[in-house]
Amino acid sequence: MSSANDIVIPAHLLPRDGRFGAGPSKVRQAQLDALMADGLTYMGTSHRQDTVKNKVGEVRDGLRALFNLPDGYEVLLGNGGTTCFWDAATFHLVAQQSQHLSFGEFSSKFASSVADAPFLNDPQIIKSDVGTHPRAVADDSVDLYALTHNETSTGVMMEIRRPDGASGLVAVDATSGAGGLRVDPTQFDCYYFAPQKSFASDGGLWLALCSPAAVERIETLAASDRWTPAFFDLKIALDNSRLNQTYNTPSLATIHMLASQINWFNENGGLDFSAGRSERSAEILYSWADASDFASPFVQNVEERSKVIGTIDFIDGVDAAAIAKILRRHGVVDTEPYRKLGRNQLRIAMFPSIDPEDIASLCASINYVVGALAN
């Protein structure tokens, strides 16, 4: 057997870009070039002046177009990323009781945040086995259904639909799904995400596409006597967003790279283009794994198999961690599995920035490594 340290993947097999991480994820060269080109007039200028405010406006208008938002929907943003938004939603989106679909590391976290809130009833939590997703069940006492478009820890995606007969708001954690998966905006009230995944920017910001019903909920709770820290106050975020600002200072580079990515999507056909790229990558990855005698898709139900995050199991005699390590030595990085899942697995991002041809090259490189490890 070759020692892992001696294996050299032939250069012609390697992906042109080696970034396959689930987030922060590949930022395209064109986004970095655009930031450099604007660098001296944009970076280091006030976020309360037009140069930056217009960029925030570009992001908000661009998202409205990308998601084809119906009249009355608003784009909110603030600092702190998705994890911060969970706390903000706990204060200003859940009226009394929420229902959470919990099917992995990320989808369980919002539920914990709500469960800890002394002013809310205990949330309903519906779980399913890892590698699958549960279904929401309409209940008259539920005023917010918490769904997750793509569970990044397991590579399970779910179609976003209002639960039959439900009257509560539908809030969707779309952190890794937004921009890479198709969605019908009439099926959600709040679709929230952060820019370091399909939007190929940096972390630390949250964005939320809110229906008129979600905006009304925010206004009602903000006017109630529920004490809310200003940082988690969605009414403050709403008022600032309407002015193309954030409550406190944002990262300007993050906003710039985010705007470039949204423009790239919109100029090429919108979600059809961006989700189409992820769909092509997924087709390549899963057909390779299905045909392989040492690798197979972890998610059994084809409908639930994510088009943005692929989780691939390896048979016992093939050590996925060793493969990831050899790939990393060649500049092909972040294919390691989600640490807490504990499987003999690789996790591969297929966000729109990632070229489908690079997914094909990655599969060829893995074939080469597995062959070399066996010889």
Residues at the contact surface with ligand PLP, assessed by CB under 6 A? 23, 81-83, 106, 148, 152, 173, 175-176, 194, 203
- Minimum Å gap between C-beta 335 and ligand PLP is 16
Q: Which is nearer to ligand PLP, 288 or 338 (CB)?
A: 338
As given in the structure block, the two tokens for residue 363 are 């599969």
Q: DSSP for 65-113, please give it.
A: HHTTPPTT-EEEEEESHHHHHHHHHHHHT-SS-EEEEE-SHHHHHHHHH
- Minimum Å gap between C-beta 20 and ligand PLP is 15
Alpha carbon 137 to chain centroid, angstroms = 24
Residue listed under structure tokens 């709770």: 221
Q: Which is nearer to ligand PLP, 31 or 82 (CB)?
A: 82
Q: Which is nearer to ligand PLP, 83 or 121 (CB)?
A: 83
Q: Which is nearer to ligand PLP, 126 or 372 (CB)?
A: 126
Q: How many Å apart are CA 147 and CA 125, to the nearest integer?
A: 11
4 close to 372: Cβ distance less than 8 angstroms:
no
Neighbours of 35 (CB within 10 A): 19
- Minimum Å gap between C-beta 177 and ligand PLP is 7
Q: Which is nearer to ligand PLP, 7 or 133 (CB)?
A: 133
Q: Which is nearer to ligand PLP, 148 or 245 (CB)?
A: 148
Q: How many Å apart are CA 226 and CA 315, to the nearest integer?
A: 53
Q: Which is nearer to ligand PLP, 175 or 261 (CB)?
A: 175
Cα three-residue angle 218-232-53, rounded to 5 degrees: 85
Q: Which is nearer to ligand PLP, 99 or 365 (CB)?
A: 99
- Minimum Å gap between C-beta 22 and ligand PLP is 7
- Minimum Å gap between C-beta 15 and ligand PLP is 22
For the purposes of burial, counting CB atoms within 10 Å of the CB of 141, is it exposed (0-12), middle (13-18) or buried (19 or more)? exposed
Q: How many Å apart are CA 226 and CA 92, to the nearest integer?
A: 9
CA-based radius of gyration for the chain: 21
Q: How many Å apart are CA 164 and CA 23, to the nearest integer?
A: 33
- Minimum Å gap between C-beta 140 and ligand PLP is 28
- Minimum Å gap between C-beta 300 and ligand PLP is 21
Q: Which is nearer to ligand PLP, 194 or 218 (CB)?
A: 194
Q: Which residue is nearest to ligand PLP (CB)?
A: 81
Return the SS3 of 174: coil
- Minimum Å gap between C-beta 142 and ligand PLP is 21
Residue listed under structure tokens 């140069």: 51
191 close to 363: Cβ distance less than 8 angstroms:
no
- Minimum Å gap between C-beta 274 and ligand PLP is 17
**CA distances in angstroms from 32 to 7, 45, 117, listed in the order given:** 33, 18, 41
Q: DSSP for 309-368, please give it.
A: EEEEEE-TTS-HHHHHHHHHHTT-B--PPPGGG--SEEEEE--TTS-HHHHHHHHHHHHH
